[in-house]
Amino acid sequence: MSGAGSPELTVDGTGLSVVIVAGRWHDVITDGLIAGATRVLEASGASWSLVRVPGSFELPVACKIALENGADAVVALGVIIRGGTPHFEYVSAAATDGLTRVALDAGKPVGFGVLTLDDEQQGLDRAGLPGSKEDKGEEAASAAIATARLLRELASR
């Protein structure tokens, strides 16, 4: 299940070690994202583990440590729902910028599955749950594995 315009990826994760790093906030949505990522990782043959952090703000530092400790890729999953204060913008920007920096500094992929939402229903529609229109956990894991494979290929040229 993927959104309009997103590529359908068949990925081979054989020999790859992947860490799913997921926030605890909005657990119904996040658990759906984790299930989607897990399905892809298991089907791909990658070895994987799951680490839970308090929220999306903490994703970058945990992803950084996972990559430093030998993971070939990480899948960052979180949920940020807009409220009545600027907190949404601060956390969204910090998570996005932080995860981008982690990927660039490590030279390893970070599958980005952080949902930024106006309301909870948008998350339920994108979490890969029964009745969801999209599966962003699946997409993030597929992208992480495909990018890890590509980076290995580029490094061997």
Establish whether 149 is an annotated binding residue. no
From residue 45, alpha-carbon distances to 61, 77, 108, 113 in Å are: 26, 20, 19, 20
Establish whether 2 is an annotated binding residue. no
Establish whether 100 is an annotated binding residue. no
**Residue 73 one-letter amino acid:** A
Catalytic residue among 12, 87, 93, 101: 87
Whether 87 is a known active-site residue: answer yes
- Distance separating alpha carbons of residues 14 and 29, to the nearest angstrom: 28
The length of the chain in residues reads 157
Establish whether 38 is an annotated binding residue. no
Establish whether 48 is an annotated binding residue. no
Residues 99, 18, 64, 29, CA torsion sign: positive
Establish whether 112 is an annotated binding residue. yes
DSSP per residue, 10-42: ----TT-EEEEEEE-SSHHHHHHHHHHHHHHHH
Establish whether 14 is an annotated binding residue. no
Establish whether 145 is an annotated binding residue. no
- Distance separating alpha carbons of residues 109 and 23, to the nearest angstrom: 18
Establish whether 47 is an annotated binding residue. no
Which residues carry a binding-site annotation? 25, 56-58, 79-81, 84-85, 112, 126
Which residues are catalytic, by number? 87
Which residues carry a binding-site annotation for (2S)-2-hydroxy-3-oxobutyl phosphate? 84-85, 126
Which residues carry a binding-site annotation for 5-amino-6-(D-ribitylamino)uracil? 25, 56-58, 79-81, 112
